[in-house]
Structure 1
Amino acid sequence: MAHGTQMRRHLCGIQTVWTDAGEAEGAVASVAEAIDRSIVGHLIVFFSPAYEAEVLTASLAAHFPGVGVSGCSTSGGISPAGTIERGLVVIAFPRQGFRIVSGLLTQITRLDVEGAASTVRGLRRLLDQGRPEGVGGHRFALSLIDSLANAEETVVSAVAWALDGIPLIGGSAGDDLAFSSTILIRDGVLCRDAAVILLVETDFPIRIFKSDNFEPTQRKFVVTAAREEERRVSELNAEPAAREYAMAVGLDPENLSTMSFAAYPLAVKIGGEYYCRSISRVEPDGSLTFFCAIGEGVVMTLAQPRDIVEATRAELEGLDEALGGLDLVIGFDCVFRRLDAESRQVRHRIADLYKRYGVVGFETYGEQYRAMHLNQTFTGIAIGRAETP
């Protein structure tokens, strides 16, 4: 096993491997050396945008012939040993105990909703056909979406509709806050303007979850001018958007940064619950671009932070109790949560929690939960220790 590469075998048979190797070919080679490849049925890979994606994809195909591969670029990996700034995180599902099928949605900027739903229904049929006689498992769906296509809402609503009750969780690909090129891979092919959808059936107990650490204040904003297709808001409360937001949080509009947006998110109320709508950047004209779709007339509420460590601990402890012990958690964690934790100097405490509960995943530009696309949230699938009788 190469220096900087570690592996953990979980009770359910999943192997998680992570490496901080500097280049793609060496990273894949060290992962392949660490894994028992004879039992692997599907790989999910989260990789640094610093890697050459073509080399990574070719190396995975060479080292894991006949194995399904799904993955995306990140703004940081999460391994059972902690977060990885640059490198590769691999979740290797065994064929025993997990049945997985995957599909690709293309040209999601102008998504054919009926076509997408048809693809998902086809995956459900495929999973039904592959099910051993008399076996009934727990199902969930997992989405990896090109965030720069600005199409998560359309994708998630179409997919959730076709899943007919199977819970969906997932994350939007990242690129270390460069916002220039996010990449998906599926079975040896590099994809942009796309979404990878996996359907998983397992013999092990599971729970999907979402956690955030914000609560609404009394301060409201109405979106009075926006270009929805660009997720860009030019006016809040009939004032220039950046200036109105900056005044509300007590900052100079000239000094707004990703740290400001991480510390002071906006939220919308849907069905009695508040969901974060994070700002990605200030444009030169003083408008604000968001990670989520925002239309004119939407009312947004300024949110204030609660203790991010306590909120995360409570979520993971609850999952641990509900499942009779956590085996691992596949997690999708907004990159803005990391920035917020860094600014509050508690990132190491979050990392300790993730290590304790076996969280593996990546830092995202957005999270999916059921039929929702979210920001500044930690979502995922928790897998319990006990095998279902």
Structure 2
Amino acid sequence: MAKTVCIRSASVGQTELERLSSGLGAAPVFVAAFASPSVDLTESLTALSTRFPRATVIGSTTSGEFTHEGDGNKTVSIFAVAGDYKVSAGMATGLADDPERAVMTALEGQPGSVEGYPHRTNVVLLDALAGHGEEAALLVAASLGDVPLVGGAAGDDLAMTKTFVGLGSQIASDAIVVASIFSRQKLGVGVCHGHAPLSDSIKVTKATGSVVDELDGRPAWDVWREKTSARAKELGLDPEASPGAYLLRFEAGLAVGKEYKVRAPLAPKPGGGILFATPVLEGTVLRIMESDSAAQVESAVSAAKAARANVDGAEIAGALVFDCICRKLILGDRYVEALKNVSAELGGAPLAGFETYGEIAMNWGDMSGFHNTTTVVLAFPRHGD
């Protein structure tokens, strides 16, 4: 039987280690720790690895940490699970220069299958500031075949300077961690965002890395303001006075089948371009999307509902959640409400996770790849055997 413990604290000391140990009642097999840049990630992972030497321990820096009880900064959130699972993991650096090699190195030595454990789910943590978040996710998927992936990009409290991921007692920037969880019963994966199309289709006609310079042959910032002007006026949003708040409300959507994959615009650039959180290629066709706080709360619940549906009615022991920092900025004081609603949708199960610079989700034909402003839920069923 699977059991999870989810806590958030200012550090990983003896008190936190005892809470995890006594709460689980058995040695964990998998532990994920997500630490504010103000908390020493190496010390946190080392403490967990030393106390639980048989567990696979992974982690990252964040832009906010949370559990089902609430969220905050300058803390560390921890998810630990005990049960009948087999877990392996690998880490590699060099993501910026050679993403394919980094992914292959992280997967090197991991088993393709484990007898008696027919289900495999992979958890991916990476440094999105190295670039190639989308490419890395697709490379992992291509290497593993039809295997669900979840994960997130490390944060640094919006400083956008340096982020870290870790495995065991080792941490690194420009890196990727891939953990493989083999289980007797399928784990539940859910992914959802709260955006709906506002504009018609627009083509990216000029782009440089993460900057979209032109849309339909015109300066991107001009097109964005033009397409949203009426709605922005209704909402009292001034793109010139508060470009950050304006862009959070009107993000980009890339069509994936009947759904949309969200890309977060961050700021206008001199010359009329728009800086995005991840690269957007020339030739991409997108639509400007809109979302409000109510839709963001509802979408988080929808992600939890999808994860629960994937475990075929089993009770949920706990969940690992990856949630974009942009959602926290949109929701403000309602963010805790969304977390509590996710837990409630999972039958009151505990959860832990962090606010990311991007989310990874690939699950049996759902929206695939690297996302922004999206909630990803990985639910562990109570009966893992």
Give the TM-score normalised by the residue count of structure 1. Answer: 0.84
Q: Distance in 1 between matches of 2:305 and 2:281?
A: 37
Q: Distance in 1 between matches of 2:281 and 2:194?
A: 25
Q: Distance in 2 between matches of 1:369 and 1:378?
A: 9
Amino acid corresponding to residue 316 of structure 2 in structure 1: L
SS of equivalent to 1:276: strand
1:53 aligned residue: 41
Counterparts of residues 258-337 of structure 1 (less than 5 Å): 258-305=244-291, 307-320=295-308, 322-337=312-327
Q: Check if 1:104 corresponds to 2:91.
A: yes
Do the aligned residues in 2 keep the contact of 1:12 with 1:204 (CA within 8 Å)?
Answer: no
Do the aligned residues in 2 keep the contact of 1:206 with 1:323 (CA within 8 Å)?
Answer: no
Amino acid corresponding to residue 175 of structure 1 in structure 2: D
Counterparts of residues 171-186 of structure 1 (less than 5 Å): 171-186=152-167
Q: Distance in 1 between matches of 2:149 and 2:302?
A: 22
2:381 is aligned, of 376, 381, 384, to 384
Q: Distance in 1 between matches of 2:121 and 2:81?
A: 14
1:87 is aligned, of 29, 52, 75, to 75
SS of equivalent to 2:223: helix
Do the aligned residues in 2 keep the contact of 1:246 with 1:256 (CA within 8 Å)?
Answer: no
- Quote how far apart the aligned CAs of 1:70 are: 0.8
- Quote how far apart the aligned CAs of 1:387 are: 4.1
* Moved beyond 6 Å, runs of 4+: none
Do the aligned residues in 1 keep the contact of 2:106 with 2:176 (CA within 8 Å)?
Answer: no
Do the aligned residues in 2 keep the contact of 1:205 with 1:386 (CA within 8 Å)?
Answer: no
Amino acid corresponding to residue 41 of structure 2 in structure 1: A
- Quote how far apart the aligned CAs of 1:240 are: 2.4
1:373 is aligned, of 355, 370, 374, to 370
Do the aligned residues in 2 keep the contact of 1:140 with 1:167 (CA within 8 Å)?
Answer: yes
Do the aligned residues in 2 keep the contact of 1:268 with 1:300 (CA within 8 Å)?
Answer: yes
Amino acid corresponding to residue 17 of structure 2 in structure 1: A
Q: Distance in 2 between matches of 1:34 and 1:218?
A: 50
CA separation of 1:59 and 1:121: change in aligned 2, threshold 3 A:
closer
Counterparts of residues 13-28 of structure 1 (less than 5 Å): 13-19=3-9, 21=10, 24=11, 27-28=12-13
Amino acid corresponding to residue 62 of structure 2 in structure 1: T
- Quote how far apart the aligned CAs of 1:158 are: 1.1
Structure 2: runs of 5+ lacking an equivalent: 230-236, 363-367
Number of corresponding residues: 362
- Quote how far apart the aligned CAs of 1:60 are: 4.1
Do the aligned residues in 2 keep the contact of 1:99 with 1:201 (CA within 8 Å)?
Answer: yes
- Quote how far apart the aligned CAs of 1:47 are: 0.6
2:192 aligned residue: 211
CA separation of 1:330 and 1:254: change in aligned 2, threshold 3 A:
same
SS of equivalent to 2:29: strand
Describe the superposition over 1:47-90 as per-residue Cα deviations: whole angstroms up to 9, x where unpaired. Answer: 11111334434444554446432100111112131223331111
- Quote how far apart the aligned CAs of 1:147 are: 1.3
SS of equivalent to 1:148: helix
Amino acid corresponding to residue 191 of structure 1 in structure 2: A
2:211 aligned residue: 232
2:63 aligned residue: 75
- Quote how far apart the aligned CAs of 1:334 are: 1.0
SS of equivalent to 1:108: coil
- Quote how far apart the aligned CAs of 1:382 are: 1.5
CA separation of 1:162 and 1:212: change in aligned 2, threshold 3 A:
same
Q: Distance in 1 between matches of 2:40 and 2:105?
A: 33
Counterparts of residues 139-158 of structure 1 (less than 5 Å): 139-158=120-139
CA separation of 1:62 and 1:100: change in aligned 2, threshold 3 A:
closer
2:201 aligned residue: 220
- Percent of aligned positions that are identical: 23
SS of equivalent to 1:369: strand
2:32 is aligned, of 39, 44, 65, to 44
2:16 aligned residue: 31
Q: Distance in 2 between matches of 1:185 and 1:277?
A: 26
Describe the superposition over 1:89-126 as per-residue Cα deviations: whole angstroms up to 9, x where unpaired. Answer: 112233x412110011320112252663465263134x
Do the aligned residues in 2 keep the contact of 1:49 with 1:73 (CA within 8 Å)?
Answer: yes
Q: Distance in 1 between matches of 2:101 and 2:334?
A: 45
Give the TM-score normalised by the residue count of structure 2. Answer: 0.85
RMSD of aligned Cα (Å): 2.5
Structure 1: runs of 5+ lacking an equivalent: 1-10
Describe the superposition over 1:258-279 as per-residue Cα deviations: whole angstroms up to 9, x where unpaired. Answer: 3322211111113343111111
Do the aligned residues in 2 keep the contact of 1:29 with 1:63 (CA within 8 Å)?
Answer: no
Q: Distance in 1 between matches of 2:167 and 2:370?
A: 22
Q: Distance in 1 between matches of 2:40 and 2:187?
A: 34
Describe the superposition over 1:307-351 as per-residue Cα deviations: whole angstroms up to 9, x where unpaired. Answer: 222333344345445433322221111111111122xx5334213
Describe the superposition over 1:274-301 as per-residue Cα deviations: whole angstroms up to 9, x where unpaired. Answer: 1111113333444222122211121210
CA separation of 1:141 and 1:270: change in aligned 2, threshold 3 A:
same
- Quote how far apart the aligned CAs of 1:238 are: 2.5
Do the aligned residues in 1 keep the contact of 2:360 with 2:370 (CA within 8 Å)?
Answer: yes
Do the aligned residues in 1 keep the contact of 2:247 with 2:265 (CA within 8 Å)?
Answer: yes
